[in-house]
Amino acid sequence: MRKKIVYSLVMLLLSLGVLTTAAAAWFTPTEKYINNIIFTAGTVEVSGALFKAADFDLDGELDIVGGANVYTPVQQLVITDMKPGDVYSYRLDVTNIGGVAGDLEVYFDGTDEGLKDVLTFGSVVKDGEGQEIQGAGALRTRLATTQVFAAVSELAPSSTSQNAQISVYFHITFETLEQLKILDAETFSDKQDLNDYKNLSFSIAKIIVELTQAA
């Protein structure tokens, strides 16, 4: 994949291009594959892996095989022909492979073409032992063009800790009209259907995993 150098005011950030994403559109089979970015800086370095959760009917209730949920490694976040009620679920594993503790923030950049009004997003962050990190994820909220969905302070490096990895469980939902009337009565209370949102889209351009040296 292409590598890209990104400069900031305080550090040099290297794009590793590990992950890619796609667009979401109702009844519009359109896809965009754009290099995502994993940032590194000095002795702070991070690695990541993306997994898609098995959910055959896309109802948000993950399939269970052998008593456990199933996650398949993927290189793209692909969402096409999305319709009301669909839920796409993923897990992103992130590890501090540098030499010092770092403050982690995971977010994505997107471009909205009208579909954000009916899309919601939520995430839960768990440590290496599977315990939820309170306040690190994002509650059910409207999808935004820049969305932070994980924030962890002082993530220890793998060289000194067995708890250097966190897992971000996140999902994107195309809400039904019934749910939207609850979430946003002002906008949706008088609507009889969601036909106004056909052929609109929300494109997630890139997932960004940023780790900076803790103060």
Q: Does residue 82 surpass a pLDDT of 50?
A: yes
Q: In the chain, which ranges are continuous DSSP H helix?
A: 177-183, 185-188
Q: Which residue has the higher pLDDT, 84 or 27?
A: 84
Domains of the chain: 4-213 (2.60.120)
Please report the pLDDT score of residue 1 as a whole number. Answer: 33
- The confidence score (pLDDT) of residue 34 equals 35
Residues 202, 203, 209, 212, CA torsion sign: negative
pLDDT digits (tens, 9 = 90+) for 138-197: 888 888 777 788 899 998 888 887 778 999 999 999 999 999 999 999 999 999 999 888
The pLDDT assigned to 146 comes to 77
Q: What is the pLDDT of residue 9?
A: 24
Q: What pLDDT, on the 0 to 100 scale, is given for residue 122?
A: 92
The 10s digit of each residue's pLDDT in 42-66 is: 567 788 888 999 999 999 999 998 8
Report pLDDT for 207. 80
Between 194 and 198, name the one with better pLDDT.
194
Question: Pick from 7, 93, 100, 103: which is nearest to 53 by CA?
Answer: 93
State if pTM tops 0.85. Answer: no
Instruction: Kindly write down the DSSP assignment for every residue of 25-48, as one continuous string.
Output: ETT------EE-EE--BTTB-EEE
Amino acid at 200: L
Residues 140, 145, 149: CA angle, nearest 5 degrees? 45
Contact 109, 59 (CB under 8 A): no
Confidence at residue 64, expressed as pLDDT on a 0 to 100 scale: 92
Task: Count other Cβ atoms within 10 Å, centred on residue 3.
Answer: 9
5-32, pLDDT tens digit by residue? 232 222 223 233 333 333 444 433 333 3
